[in-house]
């Protein structure tokens, strides 16, 4: 997933979130971790794998509470709950974990598929998630995070643009950059998409997210601060772009109430 880790990112507190974490788009953008490391059992218990009925992973997500998951709208908008399953507690792409049937998707009402604006969604499970060392929630970030913050991205995506998907959960340590810095690294067309609702990471070439990581979490200091949304695949020198969770936290909380 990370080669060194669009569409679709951290230190978590094991006591609160069950994690022991190092401190540290549309089809052409979607991705997996590049330049990262293999996760061990229970290291990122908030990670979710969204899968088809044929058990094929297509996007990531994260556990918010025992009935709700977070992800990217570009992962859920094209699908229905009847053809999607969520697997929690898995560190392998196709085996292990607990599979949950889904009650509904709530995509942000202003989600725009062409630009990936407002790329955030909530997923409600039919049955409650049982928390343990392998499956546990992560807190929604409530404060604006600027540049220079250490974060961790996780996912089951590809380890490079032309590489196969990872068979196991991967993680990569990244650093956030300011939105101004992010705009400067993109063409004018893509720079216009870097709004206050976006957070970016860039550490170095060969480290970032790739296809299959979409919808997964960017975590810093025990809080999910970003949702993998889009980027220029994969870890090729452009920033990775995430939906900024603090910007949407009020909306997310209101929908789960």
Residues recognised as catalytic: 74, 119, 214
Cβ-contact 86, 147 below 8 angstroms: no
Q: At a CB cut-off of 8 Å and minimum separation 6, what does 85 contact?
A: 50, 51, 52, 53, 55, 99, 100, 101, 102
Long-range contacts made by residues 244-247, C-beta under 8 angstroms, separation at least 24?
244/144, 244/145, 244/196, 244/197, 244/198, 244/199, 245/70, 245/120, 245/140, 245/141, 246/140, 246/141, 246/142, 246/143, 246/144, 246/145, 247/196, 247/197
- DSSP letter for 148, please: T
Q: How far apart are CA 54 and CA 27, in angstroms?
A: 20
| Paired strand residues for 168 | 92
Alpha helices for the chain (secondary structure H): 14-17, 26-29, 73-76, 179-184, 188-191, 245-256
> How distant is the alpha carbon of residue 16 from its chain centre?
20
Q: Which of 117, 208, 218 is CA-nearest to residue 157?
A: 208
Helices and strands, counts by H and E, the chain: 6, 17
């Amino acid at each position: 997933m990370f080669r060194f880790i669009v569409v679709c990112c951290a230190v978590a507190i094991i006591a609160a979130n069950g994690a022991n974490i190092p401190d540290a788009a549309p089809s052409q953008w979607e991705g997996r971790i590049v330049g990262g490391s293999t996760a061990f059992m229970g290291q990122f218990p908030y990670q979710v794998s969204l899968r088809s009925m044929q058990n094929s992973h297509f996007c990531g997500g994260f556990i918010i509470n025992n009935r709700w998951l977070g992800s990217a709208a570009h992962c859920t908008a094209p699908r229905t709950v009847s053809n999607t399953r969520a697997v929690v507690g898995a560190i392998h792409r196709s085996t292990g974990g607990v599979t949950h049937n889904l009650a509904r998707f709530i995509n942000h009402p202003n989600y725009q598929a062409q630009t990936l604006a407002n790329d955030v969604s909530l997923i409600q499970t039919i049955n409650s998630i049982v928390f343990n060392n392998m499956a546990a929630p992560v807190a929604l970030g409530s404060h604006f995070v600027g540049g220079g913050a250490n974060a961790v991205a996780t996912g089951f995506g590809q380890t490079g643009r032309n590489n196969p998907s990872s068979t196991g959960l991967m993680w990569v340590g990244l650093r956030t950059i300011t939105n101004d810095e992010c705009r400067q690294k993109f063409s004018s067309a893509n720079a216009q998409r870097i709004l206050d609702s976006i957070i970016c990471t860039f550490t170095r070439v060969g480290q970032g997210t790739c296809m299959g990581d979409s919808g997964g979490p960017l975590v810093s200091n025990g809080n999910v601060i970003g949702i993998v949304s889009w980027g220029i695949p994969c870890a090729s020198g452009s920033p990775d772009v995430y939906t900024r969770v603090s910007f949407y936290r009020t909306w997310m909380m209101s929908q789960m109430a």
